[in-house]
Amino acid sequence: MSESFKCLLADPPWRHKDKLGKKGAAANYDGTLSIEEIKAFPLPPMARDSYLFLWRVSSMQQEALDVARTWGYEVVGDIVWAKTTKPLQTTFLGPSRAQEEWRFFKFAFGLGRTTRSCKEIALICKRGKARPLVKNERDLFLAPVGLEHSAKPEEFRDLIERLVPGPYAELFARYPRENWTQWGNQLEGRPASPAEGP
């Protein structure tokens, strides 16, 4: 594999340390990795000037920072996915368009250690002199929760493609995406990691 990627997306199967993590966690679906295993996970060849988008979990913020640093990246921001349910069937019309838009959906109601989660956060990390394609992309997007545990919405990859240049690579991928090179044990016919081949 000779191609150097300018963008890497990773959604590691974090291993939680408490019982709540086991309740709806990746452990029940596709296995988990320890922090040391994630740090040591083989990466595809990355360009000197490149981006990493790393999904993290709320209870393991320091661990996510450590993974980014170990992989050779500096955290420069984050993107919040505000999880919604199906749109509400309502004809409410407020005095402003903003009120109208915010009335047409409900936030999801997930698990939580202190509060009930309705968001997920991906760290934006970079190394070298990587530069975004645009500077008008918001750091929050709304998208419905998928049917499968921990599945991330396609809207996020759309956002990445608007924000930073490719070529694009993804670790721990679940669904194939055109113009991306992906690895994941749930992708039929593809290796689980770059160490296992193209």
Would you state the pLDDT for residue 96? 53
Would you state the pLDDT for residue 51? 98
Would you state the pLDDT for residue 25? 41
Tell me the per-residue pLDDT of 176-189, one tens digit each, with 9 for 90 and over: 999 999 999 888 88
- CA 184 to chain CA centroid, Å, is 14
Would you state the pLDDT for residue 163? 97
Tell me the per-residue pLDDT of 55-69, one tens digit each, with 9 for 90 and over: 999 889 999 999 999
Tell me the per-residue pLDDT of 125-162, one tens digit each, with 9 for 90 and over: 999 999 999 999 999 988 888 767 678 999 999 999 99
Confidence of residue 36 (pLDDT cuts 50, 70, 90): very high
Which class is 5-196 in CATH? alpha beta
In the chain, where the domains are located: 5-196
Tell me the per-residue pLDDT of 66-120, one tens digit each, with 9 for 90 and over: 999 999 999 999 999 988 886 544 444 555 554 444 456 676 766 666 766 788 9
Per-residue pLDDT, averaged over 12-27, amounts to: 62
User: What's this model's pTM, rounded to 2 decimal places?
Assistant: 0.83
